[in-house]
Amino acid sequence: MNAQVQDVAKPAVTGSGTSLRSLADWVESVAALTRPAAIHWCDGSDAENAALIAKMEADGTLIRLNEETNPGSWLHRSHPDDVARVEHLTFVCTSEQDDAGPNNHWMSPADGHAQMDALFEGCMEGRTMYVIPYCMGPIESKIARCGVEITDSPYVVANMRIMTRMGAAALSRIEREGGFVRGLHSTGELDPNRRFIMHFPEELTIKSYGSGYGGNALLGKKCHALRIASHQARQEGWLAEHMLILGIENPQGETHYIAAAFPSACGKTNLAMLIPPEGYREKGWKVWTIGDDICWMRPGPDGRLYAINPEAGFFGVAPGTSAKSNPNALATIRKNTIFTNVGLTADNQPWWEGLDEGQPVIDWRGNDYDCSRGPAAHPNARFTVSAKQCPSYSEHAEDPTGVPISAIVFGGRRASLVPLVFEARDWTHGVLVGAAMGSETTAAATGQVGVMRRDPMAMKPFCGYNFADYFAHWLSFDRPGMKLPPIFHVNWFRKGADGRFLWPGFGENLRVLEWILDRAEGRAGAVETPIGHLPRADDLNLDGLDLDGAALQTLLTFDRDGWRAEFDSLGAYLDEFGARMPQALKDEHGRVVSALGR
Ligand code: OXD
Ligand code: MN
In the structure, what pLDDT confidence band is assigned to residue 3 with cuts at 50, 70 and 90? very low
Instruction: Write the residue with the smallest CA distance to atom 2 of ligand 1.
Output: 264
In the structure, what pLDDT confidence band is assigned to residue 380 with cuts at 50, 70 and 90? very high
Same domain, 229 and 111: yes
Residue 307 belongs to what domain range?
240-311+394-557
Reply yes or no on whether the pLDDT at 176 is more than 60: yes
Q: Tell which atom from ligand 1 comes closest to the C-alpha of 444.
A: 6
On whether the CB atoms of residues 321 and 354 are closer than 8 A, the answer is yes
Whole-number pLDDT of residue 452: 85
Per DSSP, the three-state class of 77 is coil
Reply yes or no on whether the pLDDT at 4 is more than 90: no
CA of 382 to the centre of ligand 2 (A): 12
The span from the CA of 546 to the CA of 499, in Å, is 19
Ligand positioned closest to the Cα atom of 443: 1
Same domain, 147 and 121: yes
pLDDT digits 0-9 by tens, 313-345: 999 999 999 999 999 999 999 999 999 999 999
Whole-number pLDDT of residue 309: 98
Position 414 in a domain: yes
In the structure, what pLDDT confidence band is assigned to residue 442 with cuts at 50, 70 and 90? confident
> What burial letters (b/e) apply to 126-138, b meaning 16+ CB within 10 Å?
ebbbbbbbbbbbb
Catalytic machinery residues: 266
Question: Which of 236, 270, 294 is the endpoint of a domain?
Answer: 236
Same domain, 175 and 283: no
Q: Comparing C-alpha atoms, which of 174, 232, 188 is closest to residue 27?
A: 174
Question: Which of 358, 389, 420 is the endpoint of a domain?
Answer: 389
Reply yes or no on whether the pLDDT at 197 is more than 90: yes
Q: Tell which atom from ligand 1 comes closest to the C-alpha of 84.
A: 6
pLDDT digits 0-9 by tens, 59-98: 999 999 999 999 999 999 999 999 999 999 999 999 999 9
Per DSSP, the three-state class of 437 is coil
Instruction: Write the residue with the smallest CA distance to atom 3 of ligand 1.
Output: 215
- If one counts every other C-beta atom within 10 angstroms of the C-beta of residue 191, the result is 14
Q: Give 276-281 contacts, CB < 8 A, sequence gap 24+.
A: 276/507, 276/510, 277/507, 277/508, 277/510, 277/511, 277/544, 277/545, 278/544, 279/543, 279/544, 280/510, 280/514
What CATH number does the domain containing 332 carry? 2.170.8.10
- If one counts every other C-beta atom within 10 angstroms of the C-beta of residue 254, the result is 10
In the structure, what pLDDT confidence band is assigned to residue 439 with cuts at 50, 70 and 90? confident
Ligand 1 is surrounded, with C-beta below 6 A, by 85, 214-215, 264, 293, 315, 444
On the CB side of 547, CA atoms within 13 Å amount to 22
CA distances from 135 to 144, 145, 179, 231 (A): 7, 6, 12, 18
Instruction: Write the residue with the smallest CA distance to atom 1 of ligand 1.
Output: 264
Ligand positioned closest to the Cα atom of 217: 1
Reply yes or no on whether the pLDDT at 448 is more than 90: no
Reduced to 3 DSSP states, what percent helix, strand and coil does the chain have, rounded to the nearest 5?
35, 25, 45
Burial of 522 (0-12, 13-18, 19+ CB in 10 A): exposed
In the structure, what pLDDT confidence band is assigned to residue 1 with cuts at 50, 70 and 90? very low
Q: Tell which atom from ligand 1 comes closest to the C-alpha of 445.
A: 6
CA of 317 to the centre of ligand 2 (A): 10
CA of 48 to the centre of ligand 2 (A): 28
Q: How far is CA 87 from the centre of its chain?
A: 14
- If one counts every other C-beta atom within 10 angstroms of the C-beta of residue 85, the result is 22
The span from the CA of 459 to the CA of 431, in Å, is 13
Question: Candidates 315, 382, 413, 442: which one to mutate for ligand 1, based on the most atoms within 8 Å of Cβ?
Answer: 315
Stretch 470-479: mean pLDDT: 98
Whole-number pLDDT of residue 325: 92
The span from the CA of 142 to the CA of 400, in Å, is 7
The span from the CA of 232 to the CA of 249, in Å, is 33
Percent of the chain predicted with pLDDT > 70: 99
pTM of the model: 0.96
Position 565 in a domain: no
Question: Candidates 213, 264, 271: which one to mutate for ligand 1, based on the most atoms within 8 Å of Cβ?
Answer: 264
Q: Are strands 487-490 and 403-411 parallel, antiparallel or unpaired?
A: parallel
Question: Which of 236, 251, 277 is the endpoint of a domain?
Answer: 236
- If one counts every other C-beta atom within 10 angstroms of the C-beta of residue 476, the result is 14
Position 594 in a domain: no
Same domain, 212 and 246: no
On whether the CB atoms of residues 297 and 238 are closer than 8 A, the answer is yes
pLDDT digits 0-9 by tens, 232-243: 999 999 999 999
Split into its structural domains, the chain has a count of: 3
CA of 82 to the centre of ligand 1 (A): 14
Same domain, 211 and 306: no
Amino acid at 28: E
On whether the CB atoms of residues 383 and 316 are closer than 8 A, the answer is yes
Ligand positioned closest to the Cα atom of 314: 1
Same domain, 290 and 409: yes
Position 257 in a domain: yes
Give φ, ψ of 76 to 5 degrees: -115, 130
Q: Tell which atom from ligand 1 comes closest to the C-alpha of 264.
A: 4
Q: How much is the mean pLDDT over the chain? A: 96
CA of 292 to the centre of ligand 2 (A): 8
